[in-house]
Structure 1
Amino acid sequence: MGRAVTADSAYPARYWHPLPDGRLQCDLCPRECRLRDGQRGFCFVRQRVGDGLVLTTYGRSSGFCIDPIEKKPLNHFYPGTSVLSFGTAGCNLGCKFCQNHEISTARQMDALADEASPADLVAAVRAWNCHSIAFTYNDPVIFAEYAMDVAAACREAGVKTVAVTAGYLQGEARKDFFTDMDAANVDLKGFRDDFYRQLTGGRLGVVLDTLTYLRHETEVWFEITTLLIPGHNDDPGELKQQSEWIVRELGPDVPVHFSAFHPDHRMPDVPATPPATLTRAREIALDAGLRHVYTGNVHDRAGDTTSCAACGAELIVRDWYRILTYRLTADGCCPDCGEALAGRFAAEAGDFGAKRIPIRIH
Structure 2
Amino acid sequence: MFYRKLEGNWIQCETCFRMCTVPPGGRGFCRVRENREGRYYSLVYARPSAVHIDPIEKEPQYHMLPGTEILCFGTVGCNFRCRHCHNWHLSQASPGDLETYDIPPERAVEIALKKNIPTLSFTYNEPTAFYEYVYDVAVLAKSKGLRILWHSNGSMNPEPLKRLLRYTDAVTIDLKGFTEKAYDNSSAELEPVLRTLKIVRQEGKWLEVVNLVIPTINDDPSDIRRMC
Instruction: Report the TM-score, using the length of structure 1 for normalisation.
Output: 0.61
Partner of residue 239, structure 1: 224
- In 1, the alpha carbon distance for the partners of 2:67 and 2:112 equals 16
Match for 2:19 among 32, 40, 43? Answer: 32
Distance 1:97 1:110, change over 3 A: closer
- In 1, the alpha carbon distance for the partners of 2:148 and 2:75 equals 16
Partner of residue 214, structure 2: 229
Structure 1 position 103, deviation (Å): 0.2
How far does the alpha carbon of each residue in 1:68-105 deviate from its partner, in whole angstroms, 9 at most, with x for none?
00111111101100100110110001111111000001
How far does the alpha carbon of each residue in 1:240-283 deviate from its partner, in whole angstroms, 9 at most, with x for none?
1111xxxxxxxxxxxxxxxxxxxxxxxxxxxxxxxxxxxxxxxx
Q: Which SS does the other structure have where 2:130 is aligned?
A: helix
Amino acid of the structure 1 residue aligned with 2:119 = S
Structure 1: any 5+ residue segments left out of the alignment?
1-13, 244-362
Distance 1:226 1:39, change over 3 A: same
What pairs with 1:1-362 in structure 2 (closer than 5 Å)? 14-20=1-7, 22-109=9-96, 111-196=98-183, 198-216=184-202, 218-243=203-228
Amino acid of the structure 2 residue aligned with 1:72 = E
Runs of 4+ in 1 over 3 A off after TM superposition: none
Structure 1 position 190, deviation (Å): 0.4
Q: Which SS does the other structure have where 1:134 is aligned?
A: strand
Q: CA RMSD in A?
A: 1.2
Structure 2: any 5+ residue segments left out of the alignment?
none
Q: Which SS does the other structure have where 1:60 is aligned?
A: coil
How far does the alpha carbon of each residue in 1:332-357 deviate from its partner, in whole angstroms, 9 at most, with x for none?
xxxxxxxxxxxxxxxxxxxxxxxxxx
Quick check: 1:95–1:201 contact (8 Å CA) kept in 2? yes
Quick check: 1:35–1:48 contact (8 Å CA) kept in 2? yes
Q: Which SS does the other structure have where 1:54 is aligned?
A: strand
- In 2, the alpha carbon distance for the partners of 1:128 and 1:82 equals 10
Q: Which SS does the other structure have where 1:109 is aligned?
A: coil
How far does the alpha carbon of each residue in 1:21-73 deviate from its partner, in whole angstroms, 9 at most, with x for none?
65211111111111111100010001100121011100001121111001111
- In 1, the alpha carbon distance for the partners of 2:141 and 2:95 equals 29
Amino acid of the structure 1 residue aligned with 2:186 = T
Quick check: 2:46–2:103 contact (8 Å CA) kept in 1? yes
Q: Which SS does the other structure have where 2:30 is aligned?
A: coil
Distance 1:234 1:110, change over 3 A: closer
Structure 1 position 222, deviation (Å): 1.1
Amino acid of the structure 2 residue aligned with 1:185 = T
Partner of residue 284, structure 1: none
Quick check: 1:55–1:143 contact (8 Å CA) kept in 2? yes
Structure 1 position 182, deviation (Å): 0.7
Instruction: Report the TM-score, using the length of structure 2 for normalisation.
Output: 0.96
Identity across aligned pairs (percent)?
36
Quick check: 2:181–2:217 contact (8 Å CA) kept in 1? no
Quick check: 1:139–1:164 contact (8 Å CA) kept in 2? yes
How far does the alpha carbon of each residue in 1:180-237 deviate from its partner, in whole angstroms, 9 at most, with x for none?
01111000010001321x2011110100000000111x13211000000111101110
Q: Which has the higher Rg, Structure 1 or Structure 2?
A: 1
